[in-house]
Amino acid sequence: MASHIVGYPRMGPKRELKFALESFWDGKSGAEDLEKVAADLRVSIWKQMADAGIQYIPSNTFAYYDQVLDITAMLGAVPPRYSWSGDEIGFDTYFSMARGNASVPAMELTKWFDTNYHFIVPELGPDVKFSYASHKAVNEYKEAKAIGVDTVPVLIGPVTYLLLSKPAKGVQKTFPLLSLLDKILPIYKEVISELKAAGASWIQFDEPTLVMDLESHQLEAFTKAYSELESTLSGLEVLVETYFADIPGDAFKTLTSLKGVTAFGFDLVRGTKTLDLIKSGYPAGKYLFAGVVDGRNIWANDLDASLITLKSLEGIVGTDKLVVSTSCSLLHTAVDLVNEPKLDTEIKSWLAFAAQKVVEVNALAKALTGQKDEAFFSANAAAQASKKSSPRVTNEAVQKAAAALKGSDHRRATDVSARLDAQQKKLNLPILPTTTIGSFPQTIELRRVRREYKAKKISEEEYVKSIKEEINKVVKLQEELDIDVLVHGEPERNDMVEYFGEQLSGFAFTANGWVQSYGSRCVKPPIIYGDVSRPKPMTVFWSTAAQSVTKRPMKGMLTGPVTILNWSFVRNDQPRFETCYQIALAIKDEVEDLEKAGITVIQIDEAALREGLPLRKAEHAFYLDWAVHSFRITNVGVQDTTQIHTHMCYSNFNDIIQSIIDMDADVITIENSRSDEKLLSVFREGVKYGAGIGPGVYDIHSPRIPSTEEIADRINKMLAVLETNILWVNPDCGLKTRKYTEVKPALQNMVAACKLLRAQLASSK
């Protein structure tokens, strides 16, 4: 019985790649230094999987930014603004596409399906001259082979690549991207031919768009693509991998009929209904890669249950054609539990990070061949039983409070227009009020202070003094810049979700459970293992301290329940919406305490609300109902004069605009500039938005500083579709990843643009 891993985390157990990337971007190290760190990590990963007994080990899943951008580089699909010379794509062009540079902006960044991972959206059109411009896939295969590891090279499949792309600027929005299939397949053929020549015996195409609601012409594109590739693929075993959801029946039929394909991979964790399709008819002689080990969560696999599933599949496809696999890439999990010596022993026994999941996959494969590790399975069963019976998981008071939520939709009593009038009388803001999203740059000194406080190297008094000094600095800067509604900069927080989870019951935390979000950006998701409640206030002290040093409105900054849920590793023993309602009640307590403390503007970020939208349309309504309801629960009890903000970023929001309206926030700030202002199209199409709204005027994930004129132009585009009295002016997102040398001039230009337009609007009356 064989074993397979779809993909593996690439940052390294101690975030080695993150630090190497940032050193390279800052000019502190060269390309050779970065390449060496990356090569060492790749070799370590391949050897680890080989030593664990994995037969089908992936290569080319290691990206310097993201795997979709790698395919864009492979195809030479570089937008003209980057002035690419046409040679093999190097770091300058690659990172300019990802991050922008001093003269041109980055490409759009958006969420990878319903995960917190991001990818760079390809910009395509009829005039793109595709060429084989990056040999990374072949080079990495050869690199692994040189150390004695024969890998399965992985490519994003050609149809998924096109379906994830967008028409380039200047290209009609209705341009059929799938019409480019004939232009990119010759390059795929070149890559396949080189891999075959290098000795590859397997190749893996990731086609996760097959789990989505596809139209007939989109499904036909898969048939066309693999028919065209069939002769080139001859002599190779070909795996087409799907993940993240059930595969629809028509897509299953299309997939299992593809020419030249000898193996199919399925997510059997999030796609349990796919089992019924497999049992009702699986093509004879084809491999089945059964994704029974969860690649998106950190709970130990229920090995006994998985073994039952695998044995039923073995009866369908045969022992020699069944391969035990992960449900998707392990990119979405933390790296290794070995790096967590301080984690609670009982909770730790319930967990499996990427390294442990590799062991689970191999243990299941061996068990199917009669080599069951009885001790390993026994320890796993004991951990499963412990998790089900542990008293620390259940809090009856919390469950009773959540159950009592049924029967109310938790709407504020007054409509938003009346609330905005009451708030304006109290806040007295100018037209086009300016604000930022929450965080300010996290300096080396600030990180040192937090680190030393956690390590008990400085006293609480010293820590509070340092954080207050940072808050004062941030407040003073915003006043000097003449920003209207201020933030305290969040100097006490390393991560917006981790900070709240540390203060809520039912959460556990890791020391090194980092997961890549995009580029060098890593997050450390909390682990929700039990019922959630708020033992005491979490932000009131810092918010009131910040408000005390300014007469301008100071936002209280909270993370919303849906975002805390979607950016955590969530318990798998109850429905997600039940956990979300518990978090909502905890945040509600905090909102009401902030209001009592005199904070009149409270931002409840729901950056990840769109991210959690299920991939299938039939499941959208149920998710949006409980997600939006959870947000409304948090602020249903505040006065009309208390202004509730929310923030969303880096997703496609146009298809959920009615749900965003239904959240009933007073003001929403929302990413707009990096996605080429496609958010505004929904308002051009006639959607009426009555609450305050601040579409971002510049991209904070790029070091580029926008000019006053550029920002003014963006605001004018917004004024063409939105009423002046509801428009706010703000960056796309928080500023923690930027440097002050970038933040100060960018905000200066933002405020200058705003004042310019205020003057123009006043003179036109």
Tokens for 229? 């590739």
Q: In what order do the strands lie in the sheet with 569-570?
A: 505-508, 527-533, 569-570
Q: Is 54 left (phi over 0), alpha (psi -120 to 50) or beta?
A: beta
Helix H or strand E segment including 762? helix 740-763
Q: Which of 534, 561, 555 is nearest to 642 (CA)?
A: 555
Q: Which residues contact 569 (CB under 8 A, 6 or more apart)?
A: 297, 298, 299, 525, 526, 527, 528
328 is in an annotated binding site: no
Distance CA 416, CA 421 (A): 9
Tell me the helices (H) and strands (E) count for the chain, helix number first.
27, 22
Distance CA 622, CA 529 (A): 24
| 542 in Cβ contact with 487 (< 8 Å) | no
25 is in an annotated binding site: no
Residue 621: strand pairing partners: none
754 is in an annotated binding site: no
Distance CA 666, CA 472 (A): 27
CA 317 to chain centre: 35
662 is in an annotated binding site: yes
157 is in an annotated binding site: no
18 is in an annotated binding site: yes
Distance CA 658, CA 204 (A): 39
Distance CA 575, CA 675 (A): 33
490 is in an annotated binding site: yes
Buried b / exposed e over 627-647, threshold 16 CB at 10 Å, is bbbbbbbbbbebebebbbbbb
Read off the DSSP letter of residue 322: E
| 509 in Cβ contact with 526 (< 8 Å) | yes
217 is catalytic: no
Residue 4: strand pairing partners: 56, 325
Distance CA 628, CA 736 (A): 27
Residue 427, number of CB atoms within 10 A of its CB: 17
| 98 in Cβ contact with 65 (< 8 Å) | yes
At 12, phi and psi to the nearest 5?
100, 155
| 666 in Cβ contact with 728 (< 8 Å) | no
Q: Which residues contact 382 (CB under 8 A, 6 or more apart)?
A: 349
DSSP line for 337-367: GGG-TTS-HHHHHTB--HHHHHHHHHHHHHH
Q: Which of 400, 584, 576, 582 is nearest to 506 (CA)?
A: 582
At 556, phi and psi to the nearest 5?
-80, 135
Distance CA 760, CA 696 (A): 21
590 is in an annotated binding site: no
Distance CA 87, CA 79 (A): 14
Q: In angstroms, what is the C-alpha Rg of the chain?
A: 26
32 is in an annotated binding site: no
Annotated binding-site ranges for 5-methyltetrahydropteroyltri-L-glutamate: 18, 116, 521-522, 567
Catalytic residues: 701
Annotated binding-site ranges for Zn(2+): 647, 649, 662, 671, 733
Annotated binding-site ranges for L-methionine: 437-439, 490, 605
Annotated binding-site ranges: 18, 116, 437-439, 490, 521-522, 567, 605, 647, 649, 662, 671, 733
